[in-house]
């Protein structure tokens, strides 16, 4: 009997023929293989993919050349199985799976990349307009453009926290803060990481109503009094009044003015709980300084161009960079200043250290 991983049989053939010449080809192979469930199939039980044998073979060979699959010829048949990389990060059943992030990238980000030149040429408009017909002001209308896409996008964001949430949260000492609000908290994955590291903390996940409802439906939360939810628009509606506000991957979506507005509102919400905290001006001052110190390498530069054209962010500083996570620590009255602590998500997730 074939081993559980030796699942997909195709006619014998020569060495892998597709040799991707660049990132685009690699990305497309990876996205297609995820979309078709190749890695899930090879991780689970014998089954057929719903594509013709020749195309399947080409795709599988491409995955072999990208070191996502192993291939072996047994009894004149080619047998494919997942590499460790694919088992760990691409098969949906893996606790470290990044499949939803890849599918979101394929269905949304990649389409926007395809309109980069037009977006640059049409200053003031974004790729979302070209890709989905939605203007930049309605950024999240484009991302949450259908019932199916909303959970896909939020799951995609969750994937990164599943990988590095505990390490990111551990980059700060949040123990002095029993009441935390994760503003624009999406799936609540970071909230869960906080509660797990700080058993004494209560975390409120705040987001627009549709996302909060969807998160409650699709993601499980500890059934205790430590998890709260707050629905609303963080630019307009009243905010929870925590001791600490987390803004993870939120500010990069908005213009400098909107970020300042949000930071001031956040500050005021926290100030209610800590009346002695000094003026909100610090928030405005700290933002550009923060971004400046995080100017990055070529890849980040490329990402900034995309962000600048897809999102409203990127206009925050003259030399834009994606601020991945901010924790606003607003209760440090001892220091006499408003404190903003930040962590660069990719640095925190880097497996090298
Ligand atoms: C890039 S996502 C980051 C989500 C989450 N913080 C994370 O790191 O996974 C930005 C989040 O902000 C939320 N958001 C966008 N506009 C908002 C608004 N006006 N009011 C409240 N939340 C908003 C989105 O729904 C989304 O969950």
pLDDT tens digits, one per residue of 292-312: 333 333 444 555 555 555 666
Beta carbons within 8 Å of 28's beta carbon, 6+ residues apart: none
Rounded CA gap, 348 and 342, in Å? 11
pLDDT category, 22, cuts 50, 70, 90? low
Q: Which residue would you say has higher pLDDT here, 330 or 97?
A: 97
Asked if pLDDT for residue 183 goes beyond 70, the answer is yes
Q: Which residue would you say has higher pLDDT here, 105 or 223?
A: 105
Closest CA to 67 of 96, 36, 92, 88: 88
Rounded CA gap, 206 and 172, in Å? 21
Asked if pLDDT for residue 14 goes beyond 70, the answer is no
Question: If you take atom 27 of ligand 1, which residue's CA is the nearest one?
Answer: 186
- Look at residue 291 in the predicted model and tell me its pLDDT: 36
- Look at residue 185 in the predicted model and tell me its pLDDT: 92
* Mean model confidence pLDDT for the chain: 71
Question: If you take atom 20 of ligand 1, which residue's CA is the nearest one?
Answer: 233
Asked if pLDDT for residue 346 goes beyond 80, the answer is no
Q: Mean pLDDT highest for which of 39-43, 78-82, 97-101, 312-316? A: 97-101
Q: Which helix (H) or strand (E) holds 69?
A: strand 69-74
- Look at residue 293 in the predicted model and tell me its pLDDT: 34
Rounded CA gap, 260 and 301, in Å? 23
Q: Which domains, and CATH codes, for the chain?
A: 8-89 (1.10.10.10), 154-349 (3.40.50.150)
Question: If you take atom 3 of ligand 1, which residue's CA is the nearest one?
Answer: 249
Asked if pLDDT for residue 1 goes beyond 50, the answer is no
Beta carbons within 8 Å of 204's beta carbon, 6+ residues apart: 179, 180, 181, 182, 185, 191, 227, 228, 229, 230, 240, 242
Contact predicate 326/246, CB 8 Å: yes
Rounded CA gap, 349 and 9, in Å? 37
User: What residues does ligand 1 touch, defined as CB less than 6 Å away?
Assistant: 140, 157, 161, 184-186, 207-208, 211, 233-235, 248-250, 253
Strand ranges across the sheet with 339-343: 227-231, 202-207, 179-183, 244-248, 325-329, 339-343
pLDDT category, 204, cuts 50, 70, 90? very high
How many angstroms does the Cα of residue 173 sit away from the middle of ligand 1?
A: 23
Pick the atom of ligand 1 nearest to 246's CA.
Answer: 6
- Look at residue 119 in the predicted model and tell me its pLDDT: 76
Task: Give mean pLDDT, residues 187-205.
Answer: 90
Least confident among 41-50, 55-64, 143-152, 273-282: 273-282
Task: Give mean pLDDT, residues 56-68.
Answer: 88
Q: Which residue would you say has higher pLDDT here, 117 or 5?
A: 117
Encoding tokens for residue 94? Answer: 């893996």
Closest CA to 321 of 310, 342, 305: 305
- DSSP-derived letter for residue 179 is E
Testing ligand 1's pocket by substitution, the residue of 105, 143, 180, 184 carrying the most ligand atoms inside 8 A of its CB is 184
Report how many helices (DSSP H) and strands (DSSP E) the chain contains, helices first.
Answer: 16, 9
pLDDT category, 44, cuts 50, 70, 90? low
Task: Give mean pLDDT, residues 11-18.
Answer: 38
Q: Quick one: what percent of the chain has pLDDT higher than 70?
A: 65
- Look at residue 76 in the predicted model and tell me its pLDDT: 75
How many angstroms does the Cα of residue 23 sit away from the middle of ligand 1?
A: 29
């Amino acid at each position: 009997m074939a081993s559980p991983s030796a699942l997909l049989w195709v006619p014998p053939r020569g060495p892998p023929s597709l040799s991707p010449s660049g990132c685009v080809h690699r990305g497309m192979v990876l996205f297609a293989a995820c979309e078709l469930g190749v890695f899930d199939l090879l991780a689970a039980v014998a089954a057929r993919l719903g594509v013709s044998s020749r195309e399947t073979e080409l795709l599988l060979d491409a995955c072999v050349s990208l070191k996502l699959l192993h291939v072996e010829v047994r009894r004149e048949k080619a047998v494919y199985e997942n590499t460790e990389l694919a088992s760990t990060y691409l098969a949906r059943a893996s606790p470290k799976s990044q499949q939803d992030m890849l599918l979101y990238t394929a269905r949304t980000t990649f389409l926007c990349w395809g309109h980069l030149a037009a977006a640059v040429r049409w200053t003031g408009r974004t790729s979302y307009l070209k890709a989905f017909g939605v203007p930049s002001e309605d950024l999240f209308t484009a991302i949450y453009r259908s019932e199916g896409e909303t959970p896909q996008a939020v799951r995609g964001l969750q994937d990164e926290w599943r990988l590095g949430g505990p390490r990111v949260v551990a980059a700060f000492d949040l123990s002095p803060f029993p009441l935390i609000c994760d503003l624009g908290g999406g799936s609540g994955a970071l909230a869960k990481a906080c509660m797990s590291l700080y058993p004494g903390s209560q975390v409120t996940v705040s987001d627009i109503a549709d996302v909060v409802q969807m998160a409650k439906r699709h993601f499980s939360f500890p059934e205790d009094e430590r998890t709260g939810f707050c629905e609303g628009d963080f630019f307009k509606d009243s905010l929870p009044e925590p001791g600490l506000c987390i803004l993870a991957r939120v500010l990069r979506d908005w213009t400098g003015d909107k970020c300042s507005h949000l930071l001031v509102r956040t500050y005021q919400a926290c100030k209610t709980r800590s009346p002695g905290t000094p003026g909100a001006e610090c928030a405005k001052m700290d933002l550009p300084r923060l971004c400046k110190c995080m100017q990055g390498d070529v890849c980040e530069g490329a990402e900034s161009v995309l962000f600048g054209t897809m999102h409203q962010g990127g206009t925050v500083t003259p030399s834009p960079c994606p601020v991945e996570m901010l924790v606003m620590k607003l209760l440090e009255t001892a220091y006499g200043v408003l404190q903003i602590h930040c962590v660069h998500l990719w640095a925190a997730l880097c497996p090298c250290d």
